[in-house]
Structure 1
Amino acid sequence: MTSLHGLLAGWITGQRWFAGKGRAIDDLSVETLTEIVAGDPGLVHLIVSVRQEERRTRYQILAGLRDHLPDRLKHVGIGTCEWGGRERHVYDAMHDASLTEHLLRGMDADRRVNGVAFHRVAGVSIDTTQRSLVLTAEQSNTSLVYGDAYILKLFRQLNAGVNPELEIITALAGAGSAHVARPYGWIETGLDGEPTTLAIMQEYLPNANDGWTMALTSVRDLYACPDAMPAEDAGGDFAAEAGRLGQATAQVHRELAESFPTGVVEPPEIKRMTERFRRRLDRAVAEVPPLARHAEVAARAYDRMADLEHEITVQRVHGDYHLGQVMRTTGDWVVLDFEGEPGQPLAERRALDSPLRDVAGMLRSFDYAARHLLADRPGAERLEGRAREWAARNKAAFLAGYSEGGGHIRGADAVLLRALELSKAVYEVVYEARNRPSWLPIPLAAFGDEG
């Protein structure tokens, strides 16, 4: 009979959240195995370590155990192996509401099971009768929605340490921020001697709309309008919402600065940052030759950044900010996913940075919203002007809202913002060339003018 190790090695490579696709597994070991629920069905928590060549990555798995696997769970079966002296079915327990209810109960009771600790945020109550449903859209994590009350995000890849998202949402919610979903609980363990976040549960926003979907609706409406109609007269004009989003972004940045330490970057370090940008640009040109004809635009922006003679204020930031990370509720914009860029070391994700990095990320997201519907579309060149018009209008509205909300983009700030935008676009060029070649024109368009 196949061992548990063998089952996991064969199953894990097919999961959307597995980061090592396309490379053979050289070794898989179970670092920890914690029985959360005994019996039939049973629930075990696993941390597995996967080695592929020189890289070793830890993954988190909640496995269910049953003597007989019902039809409704066969699609998430992992296999059968000997467990406790008898053959048992092993499967992905995130899809079994009869087991995931124990996660709610554990947080509500501040339960501890060996090395796995469940925590409830002080001052909240958790309705343990809510049943879960798996969201299938996410790739790097797995999320459960409990009724219309909570959403629990389980981090599949584990890095030792407290996740930045847990730090930020608990601090901002504690300070009364209107722009974060209320936290209810979290799950953690010890890893390499550090408390390590396994999952976070927040308020679910069932009636909210995400910013990316709203923006695409606006773009579709504009593309359906006669060419002569200005963007502001289109039925789905997004500019007012872009302005409100800018205000909310500035408020979140202010709240982050009030809740966490801040610092400054002196001109010598700014020059070193610029050199890193230049080296990244050189590597990108070598990998993606079409970028070469635009490289001078980025180089000039980096030169202006290197000439800055004033220090830059740095603080905690979102770190991976775009239209897919914000939700429009009936009251205001709410910001999600403060974990930073998945796959980066936690120390880098926690590092202080200019808030303009988030601003640059959102400006790039407006360009993506405007242009991605043109990829592989017949007659796309006819709509290029419409795309530029929509992006420019909404970027201007976002920046105006950011200023109204207390954000500052003047003089040296504008120089830094432009450099950050183009650095982000350089990253996007490499990403699209590797993963979605038909989308390569989207980031290349960022170099079309000097801004």
Structure 2
Amino acid sequence: MPPPFAVRRFLPLPTLSYSLGDLHTGAPGERDFGAHVDQTNYSVVVDEKVVVKWLTPPVPLPHPAPEVFAHLVEAGFNDTAPPYAALTRDVDGNEQLLALVTGYLPDARDGWEWCVDEAEAGATDFAPVLGRLAADLHLALATLPTSAREPDAAGTAARAEAALAEALALTDGEDGAWLATRTPAIRRELAALQEPITGPRVRIHGDLHVGQILKWRDGYAVIDFDGNPTVTDADPCQPAARDVAQLTTSIEHVAQVAIKRRGTDPGAAAAWAAEARAGLLAAYKVRLAEKDRPELLDERLVRPFEVEQECRELIYAARHLPRWRYAPMGVLRTWYQEENIT
């Protein structure tokens, strides 16, 4: 690769060579995913074998993805799109990440499609599979070195309180008025974050929701290790409960999508979400126990992190995707019904 560009390789790329008989087959050599796919960056599928995700705009290094890719390959974690390479560019002595190259997974659909199908059908067989996948991911990432400092309970609690304050400021109308009446109950649940955090911090995914889990021809795969695009100052090393809480709340969001877009009965959707969450969490804990690492999950943190996550969903809706507000509001209205807070 000529300067100022460079390539960091993780796995060998599949061959893109052709014989003369393969030419002019009529199939496009490259394609994108289409306008219906909501993505922060721009991805191109090459020859139905690899995906090149161009970061728009390029991101200064260090960036979490190259380090995580290299480590997952070393740790033997295979439940992801095969990480092939990272393309960088030097700009006045500063390296920028231009693109990430991963494997293309045939017949892949993200969780905002396949998981909504499951909600509509009332099926929860997928949940233990996702629980084991998340646990295996954390077991692999837990072997990445972390900084020596201990988790900061005061900083964690302040971050959650700031998220609540911002959600209150940005959520207007009837939703905002309702949210204000539930603020005392929300704060009572966030109060658990003021206690000392005694469990380990590990490298986490940082944006682990069902949309990052593909169901493809050969199973499930977790993707997108770029971190949370809406939280610019997030520490990459946090309690594993942070990822677990985002994954479980995304199950709740799937139920809201099924209600709104598929006409699923609200009571049935809520029951489905509760069963799926329980199955996912149980399988996650069993997997950690099987690997003698049960301490990776401080279950006491899951609920307050879930509550904080819903505040962040409201912030995301207000700043980036207003039509999404129905999902976190639907979850919060389910959690904080009058009979549950008196």
TM-score of Structure 1 vs Structure 2, range by shorter chain: 0.7 to 0.9
Aligned residues: 316
Contact 1:356 1:417 in 2 (8 A): yes
Is there any run of 5+ residues in structure 2 with no aligned partner, and where? Answer: 19-27
Q: Which has the higher contact order (CA 8 A, sep 6+)?
A: 2
Deviations 1:185-220 (Å, cap 9, x if unpaired)? 221112463322110111110133433322111222
1 CA distance for matches of 2:186 and 2:234? 25
Indicate the SS of the match to 2:238: coil
Aligned match of 1:198: 98
> What pairs up with 1:209-288 in 2 under 5 angstroms?
209-222=109-122, 237=123, 239-261=124-146, 265-266=150-151, 269-288=152-171
After superposition, give the CA deviation of every residue in 1:237-291 in whole Å (9 maximum; x if it has no partner): 1x2211111011101101001133365635xx20232123223323322332321
Q: Superposition pairs for residues 290-329 of structure 1, below 5 Å?
A: 290-306=178-194, 308-329=195-216
2:45 counterpart SS class: strand
SS at match of 1:186: strand
Give the counterpart of 1:404 among 286, 289, 293: 286
Distance 1:433 1:444 in 2: 16
Matched, 1:393 2:275: yes
Structure 1 residues 265 and 417 mapped into 2: Cα distance closer, same or farther (>3 Å)?
Answer: farther
Please give the secondary structure, in 2, of the residue aligned with 1:249. helix
**Aligned residue number for residue 85 of structure 2:** 185
**SS of residue in 2 equivalent to 1:144:** strand
Identity %: 25
Secondary structure in structure 2 of the residue aligned to 1:312: coil
Q: How does 1:111-130 map to 2 (within 5 A)?
A: 111-112=1-2, 114-121=3-10, 123-129=12-18
Summarize the Cα distance change of 1:207–1:431 in structure 2 as closer, same or farther, 3 Å threshold.
closer
Q: Secondary structure at the match of 2:300?
A: helix
Q: Which residue of 2 aligns with 1:336?
A: 223
Sort the Cα spacing of 1:344 and 1:287 in 2 relative to 1 into closer, same or farther, 3 A.
closer
**8 Å CA contact retained: 2:72, 2:140:** yes
Q: Hey, what's the Cα distance between the residues in 2 that align with 1:355 and 1:399?
A: 12
8 A Cα contact 1:256 1:317, kept in partner: yes
**Structure number with higher strand proportion:** 1
CA–CA distance in 2 between the matches of 1:396 and 1:184? 35
Letter in 2 for 1:405: R
* Alpha-carbon shift at residue 121 of structure 1 (Å): 3.7
Deviation at 1:179, TM superposition (A): 1.5
Distance 1:264-1:404 versus aligned 2 partners, 3 A rule = farther
Residue 367 of structure 1 pairs with residue 252 of structure 2: yes
Looking at structure 1, the residues matched to 13 and 119 of structure 2 have their Cα atoms a distance apart, in angstroms, of 40
Specify whether residues 260 and 124 from structure 1 end up closer, same or farther in structure 2 by C-alpha distance, changes over 3 A only. Answer: farther
- Residue in 2 that maps onto 1:358: 243
Residue identity matched to 2:191:
D
Q: CA deviation at 1:148?
A: 2.3
The 1:339/1:192 distance shift into structure 2, 3 A limit, reads farther
Give the aligned partner of residue 146 of structure 1: 46
2:261 and 2:131 map into 1 onto residues whose CA distance is: 31
Q: Which residue of 2 aligns with 1:135?
A: 33
Partner Cα distance (1:246, 1:166) in 2 = 25
SS at structure 2 position matched to 1:333: strand
The residue aligned with 1:55 is none
In 1, Cα distance between the equivalents of 2:286 and 2:84?
A: 32
In 1, Cα distance between the equivalents of 2:147 and 2:70?
Answer: 18
Q: In structure 1, how many angstroms separate the alpha carbons of the residues matched to 2:315 and 2:5?
A: 39
- The answer for unaligned runs of 5 or more in structure 1 is 1-110, 223-236
Kindly indicate whether the alpha-carbon contact (under 8 Å) linking 2:120 and 2:262 is maintained by their aligned counterparts in 1: no
Q: Deviations over 1:83-112 (max 9, x none)?
A: xxxxxxxxxxxxxxxxxxxxxxxxxxxx22
CA distance in 1, matches of 2:109, 2:272: 20
Whole-Å separation in 2 of the counterparts to 1:202 and 1:349: 25
Does the 8 Å CA contact 2:116/2:257 hold for their aligned counterparts?
A: no
Matched, 1:166 2:66: yes
Partner Cα distance (2:202, 2:77) in 1: 17
TM-score norm. by structure 1 comes to: 0.63
Contact persistence 1:263–1:313 (CA under 8 A): no
The residue type equivalent to 1:441 in the other structure is: M
SS of residue paired to 1:375: helix
* Residue 186 to residue 423, structure 1, CA distance change in 2 (3 Å): same
